[in-house]
Homo-oligomer: A and B are copies of this chain.
Amino acid sequence: MVLTLQLPPGAALSENELAASLGVSRTPVRESLILLAQEGLVQVFPQIGSFVSRVDPAQVADAQFLREAVELAALDDLPPDLDPAVLKELRDNLERQQREGLGLEEFFDLDEAFHQGLMRLSGHGNAWTTVAAAKGHLDRARRLGLYENASPAVFADQHREIFDAVAGGDVSLARTAMRTHLRAVFSDIERIRAHSPELFATDSSTVPVRRNVVVWE
């Protein structure tokens, strides 16, 4: 729910409320929040509250750098003979990406699977897991970008370009295409930030505080 922005950045999370709505006690909720906090998706302030972390442009940049470094290195490490099973999987994936009427969340799943498959071609599928765990802020920024212009077609075309270069054995072209593709996120972010500044962190030293609010029951 944090990743899909159903819980928006900045939202307050109460362990008690979550426990009640999920029908469990605070313990498993709390243990889950600890894991989310380690990924940087949730911030816990003792005696104050837990919050969905705002999208931090610095953390987005960090994740972008990490991801680009790893994916480009994987391209350099491609073996001469590519696994045909994975190639077929990637082709099927690409075809589904270009279907009409594709939902955004479905596209994200395909996107994720595509990049992971690419890593598996060079035998580094497990390294993708680490990257995936570190790029929570990046993913949320990407979602914000797609919610704005809602045109996954451009990205699908870029995916095909990368795949064709990889399948054709042109590592240099693949690297260029991958770099262009991954950096497309940045051009989106500033636009989103002008649109919805409340979703982004400005000063990391600001901490949230509790407010008593009165609502109609």
Contacts and interface: CB of A to CB of B under 8 A. Distances in A.
Contacts of A70: 65-66, 69-70
A68 to B, nearest CB: 7
Interface string A97-132: 000000000000000000000000000101100110
A62 B134 contact: no
A173 interface: no
Interface residues of A, number: 23
What is the count of identical protomers in the complex?
2
Contact of A73 (B35, B73, B126, B130): B73
9 contacts: A31-B31, A34-B34, A59-B126, A62-B124, A65-B70, A68-B73, A69-B73, A69-B74, A130-B134
Given A62-B124, A69-B69, A72-B73, 16 more contacts: A30-B31, A31-B31, A34-B34, A35-B35, A35-B38, A59-B126, A62-B126, A62-B127, A62-B130, A65-B77, A65-B127, A66-B130, A66-B131, A68-B73, A69-B70, A73-B73
